[in-house]
Amino acid sequence: SGIAANFATSTRKDLNEKISSFSLTEINRFSTASLITRSTNDIEQVQMTYLLMMRMIFAAPITAIWAICKVQSASWELSIATVIAVLVLIITLTILAILVMPKFKVSQKYIDKLNGITRENLNGIRVVKAYNAEQYQENKFKTSNDDLTKLNLFTGRVMGLLSPVMIIVMDGITLAIYWIGSYLINGGTLGYNDISSFTMLATQIIMAFMMLLMMFVLWPRASVSAKRINEVLETKPSIVDPVNPNVPKKLGTIEFDDVSFHYPDAEENILEHISFKANQGDTIAIIGPTGCGKTSLVQLLDRLYDVTSGSVKIDGVNVKDFSQKELHSRIGFVPQKGLLFSGTIKSNIGFGLDSQINDEDIENAAKIACADEFIEKMEGKYNSPIAQGGSNVSGGQRQRLCIARAVALKPEIFVFDDSFSALDFKTDLKVRQNLKASQQKATKVIVAQRIGTVMDADLILVLNEGKLVGKGTHKELLSSCELYKEIALSQLSKEELGL
């Protein structure tokens, strides 16, 4: 059991390390639910089979060989009866294995699907309740659960035949031995003690073969799980570190040179021929209609995906020439949907920095993000607990803590992917003013929908259907870019815009 447990522990560790090295491309290809199943259910299945094999692999063959040698020296008639019993057992188990083997792979896929639905329900519980969609989601879960149940019932019933078959074979060989033995005793070939000994030996042979065959029955399911695990372990990440990574001087410059991009499973580009430059300390704003490629653009900067063509450079070096650790240490990324981890406010702001950050830095980061306003009102202050996903704080508080986490990293480049959307206008302005005053040397990239959030930027990029349709300052774009002007007028009056 210790060897099997160590095997499972080692496999989980390897699997976790491999998944951590995946880019979003590989994560999306497998799906989060499937990766969770492979890391838990599949490993447990392999561990159980491995444990049984370790117990049987020595005992069963030794018992079988010893008993067979004894049987052969007793009577060829009884030996033939024993061989027939073993053959019946082998044929029966082979038929059962053929029936259930294809079902095991389907079963694991059903488990993936069921886990996916469960995860979706839990993550979207607020939306489900808000739209009174509990029954719809329950029906969705029930359908998937019923499919898995039917499959498990089929395999369970088929495998349930194993026990009666074994009893029939055992009783059959016992009767055969007594029947044949009676003739041999009458003929004076064997004695009563020989028949009793032979019955015991025949039982041991059948039990030994039964144990060996049980391994072959369990093996198909474990084999399916092992293949699913190996599929993850053997997958090569699409984004890897270069052999000789470059570590240029930190300048905070950004350059997109004729960048086009499409997602791995898509045929059409979501970004086409994007080019712009930003110097140290600049604030770059990106605005445009929903689905125009704003988030996709900033994901290329952090190398969550690789460009299809063109190049993205930071500090004059292609992002592909950085090690991922070095690249991510230079960029403070705040995603559109703020994510917090279970722990405390302190552990979330200092996330990933371990001993590299002190209490003063954490408090300063919180102050810049205007998070200190609500933290100081909490009973535990910076040691106040945070539930998984930050479910015990509001959306605005969660977003400010995520901004504080990026500030604590002390990066040379900040990327805010619509990170101010959950903040009111007053807090939005105050956070940006704090960032401008305290992070003067850091370059800031802001994705936003509000004109008020982007209008003070040094350079505003206007995207539409993946193309750069406008580039300049707020004042320049009001006169040169019709789309930007439309967005601005939809939010502010002509007087407020100075038109």
> Where along the chain do its domains lie?
2-233, 254-497
Measured CA to CA, the distance from residue 78 to residue 179 in angstroms comes to: 10
**For position 189, what pLDDT does the model report?**
67
334 phi-psi bin (left φ>0, alpha ψ -120 to 50, beta other)? beta
User: What are 404-427's pLDDT values in tens digits?
Assistant: 988 988 889 999 988 888 788 888
Residue spans of the chain under pLDDT 50: none
423 within 8 A of 400, measured Cβ to Cβ: yes
Fold identical between 2-233 and 254-497? Answer: no
- The secondary structure element, H or E, covering residue 261 is strand 254-261
- Using N-to-C axis directions, what is the helix angle for 359-368 and 425-438, rounded to 10°? 130
457 within 8 A of 288, measured Cβ to Cβ: no
Question: Which CATH class, in words, describes the domain spanning 2-233?
Answer: mainly alpha
pTM: 0.72
User: What are 217-269's pLDDT values in tens digits?
Assistant: 677 778 888 888 888 888 888 888 888 888 878 888 999 999 999 988 778 88
**For position 236, what pLDDT does the model report?**
87
Measured CA to CA, the distance from residue 272 to residue 310 in angstroms comes to: 10
- The secondary structure element, H or E, covering residue 80 is helix 76-123
**For position 61, what pLDDT does the model report?**
65
**For position 340, what pLDDT does the model report?**
84
Measured CA to CA, the distance from residue 42 to residue 111 in angstroms comes to: 10
What topology is assigned to 254-497 in CATH? Rossmann fold (3.40.50)
